[in-house]
Amino acid sequence: MGDQGEFKRRINERKFGTWEGLPDGGRRYSYKVEGRHGWTARYIKEVDKIEETLRFYQEIYDDNGKLIEIHEKFPDDKGHKKITEEKP
């Protein structure tokens, strides 16, 4: 990785605090924000091996910790997508 990639990696590590390696050499960064009414938002950024952003999205969890909504913001803002349970 070049100097620019190393610089971006340090910034992402400091900003997100949590990350995991991906099979292609990239990383998935994340951080959580606790809401006032029990909900939680998890922000996730996926990058390639040179730290270029591939995907950025937000997961919203209810006060029971259940995923209820995903908002994909990058590469295209797809708006909020409600997660529905499929009934057998």
Query: For the segment 59-87, what is each residue's pLDDT rounded down to a tens digit?
Result: 999 999 999 999 999 999 999 899 986 65
pLDDT of amino acid 87 = 57
Q: Where are the domains of the chain?
A: 3-82
Separation between Cα atoms, residue 81 and residue 76, nearest integer Å: 13
pLDDT of amino acid 37 = 87
Q: Is the pLDDT of residue 88 over 80?
A: no
Query: For the segment 4-28, what is each residue's pLDDT rounded down to a tens digit?
Result: 889 999 999 999 999 999 999 999 9
pLDDT of amino acid 3 = 85
pLDDT average, residue stretch 45-67:
96
What is 33-77 written as a DSSP string? EE-TTS-EEEEEEEE-TT--EEEEEEEEE-TTS-EEEEEEEESS-
pLDDT of amino acid 61 = 96
pLDDT average, residue stretch 34-39:
90
